[in-house]
Amino acid sequence: MVAHWPVLHEVSSSPPAKAAAVRSVHRRVVEMRLMPDKHSVICIRFKLDGGRFLRPLCHNPAYEEHSSGDPGCVGGRFVIGREAARRRVMNGMKRLVFAVAALCLAGCAAPQAQQGAAGTDFQLSDLGKSDIDRVAEFHQQAALASLRILMEKLYRRNPREWRKGGQPSLAASVSQVFDGRRRWRFPVLEGKTGAACVHLAFDEHYHGDRVLAFIVGLASMIMASYNGKTALYLVDELDPQKLYNSARNVEIADWLLNHARDREGRPFLLSNAISAAGKNLSFEREIGKIIADQDVLARIVADKTNRSIVHAIQSMATAIFLPI
C-alpha cells in the first residue's frame, strides 16, 4: 500500500524529508492517496495550518492514479512507505470495529430495560442510593411479599376472619393492607400496631379480624426496623439492632400462632397442620423467609457500619417482644 502526499500549490524538485515537506507548506492544501491494491486509490485532501492537519476537505474515491517507489518526493508527491500506510488503514479499521461493537451492545441492552421481570428500570432517584440502600429495599420487599402470601393462606385456612371485616372478598381484605399507602393503622384494630396488634390477635375478648391483627402487627414491626421508609437513600441509616430485634419478634409471633389457645383449648387461628393425611408446613416456610431476610440484612448493615448486635436468648413460652 502506498500513500501519496502531493502538494497542490508548491512542488519541490528535490526529495525533502517528510517533516521538511510538511513544514515547507504553510496554510496549503495537501492531498493524501491510499492505495489498498493496484486497482483502487483512496484520495483525501487536508488543509494544513502551521504544519498540523485540521480537517479533510473532500473525499474522491474515483480519483485513480498508480505510482510506486521508495519513500521520498517523486514528481512533487511525498510517498509514504507501505508499512506506515498499512498501519494507518488498520487503525481506521479498528476504530470502525469498536464503533460497530458499541452500537451492537447498545442495541442488545435496550430490550432488557423494558423487561420489568428481569430487574428494575433505572430512575433518577437511584443516583442518591448506595448499594446497601438497594439491598435493604429488596429485603424489605421480599419480607412484605412473604407477609402477603401468609395473609392469603391464613384467610383460606380461617375464612370466617375476612368476613368479619366487611370486605366483599378475600382479595379485597388483603388489598386493603398491602395496596395503596401503607399506614398500618386501622380503626377496627383500635389504632394498635406492632406487638400490641399481635397480642390483639390472640386476645380472647377480641372479636374482630384476627388475621388482620396478626399480619398488621408483623408488618408494622418490620417497617419500624426500616424507620417506616419504603425508599432508602444515602442520608438514611439503618440500625442493625432493630433489624435483629424484628426477626426475634417474628419468631415469637410464630410461636403464638402455633400454640396460643382459647379457654376451650382451640387455636385462635389455624395454620400448620400435621395429620394422618399429611403435613402442611407452608405457613412455617413463609415465616422462616421473613426471619432470614431480617437476619441477613442485620448482619450486612452491622458489617457495613462496624456496629455490633446484642443477641438475646429467650424461652418462647415466656418471651417478650423486643423494642424496635
Give percent of the chain with pLDDT exceeding 90: 46
- pLDDT at residue 31, rounded to an integer: 54
Evaluate if residue 135 carries a pLDDT over 50: yes
Q: Which residue has the higher pLDDT, 176 or 67?
A: 176
Name the band, by pLDDT with cuts 50, 70 and 90, for residue 125.
confident
Nearest CA to 148 out of 268, 321, 291, 287 is that of 287
- pLDDT at residue 29, rounded to an integer: 53
- pLDDT at residue 86, rounded to an integer: 65
Rounded to an integer, the average pLDDT of 288-308 is: 94
Least confident of 83-92, 115-124, 196-205, 284-293: 115-124
Name the band, by pLDDT with cuts 50, 70 and 90, for residue 179.
confident
Name the band, by pLDDT with cuts 50, 70 and 90, for residue 109.
low
- What are the grid coordinates assigned to 73, written together? 518526493
Name the band, by pLDDT with cuts 50, 70 and 90, for residue 279.
confident
Report pLDDT digits (tens) over 28-76.
555 555 555 554 445 555 554 444 444 444 444 443 344 444 344 444 4
Average pLDDT, the chain: 76
Rounded to an integer, the average pLDDT of 263-286 is: 90
Alpha-carbon span 253 to 214, nearest angstrom: 8
- pLDDT at residue 3, rounded to an integer: 46
Name the band, by pLDDT with cuts 50, 70 and 90, for residue 253.
very high
Evaluate if residue 244 carries a pLDDT over 80: yes
Q: Which residues contact 242 (CB under 8 A, 6 or more apart)?
A: 224, 225, 324
Please tell me which of 145-154, 229-238, 276-285, 303-312 the model is most confident about, judged by mean pLDDT. Answer: 145-154
Name the band, by pLDDT with cuts 50, 70 and 90, for residue 108.
low
Evaluate if residue 200 carries a pLDDT over 90: yes
The label of the residue with cell 408488618 reads 219
Q: Which residues contact 261 (CB under 8 A, 6 or more apart)?
A: 267, 268
Please tell me which of 16-25, 71-80, 84-93, 190-199 the model is most confident about, judged by mean pLDDT. Answer: 190-199
Q: Provide the residue ranges of all domains of the chain, joining segments of one domain with +.
A: 2-100, 128-305
Three-state DSSP string of 188-225: HHCCCCHHHHHHHHCCCCCCCCHHHHHHHHHHHHHHHH
- pLDDT at residue 192, rounded to an integer: 92
- pLDDT at residue 35, rounded to an integer: 55
Nearest CA to 45 out of 33, 63, 27 is that of 33
Q: Report how far apart the first and last C-alpha atoms of the chain are (Å, whole number).
A: 78
Nearest CA to 320 out of 247, 259, 249 is that of 249
> Cβ(291)–Cβ(251) under 8 Å?
yes
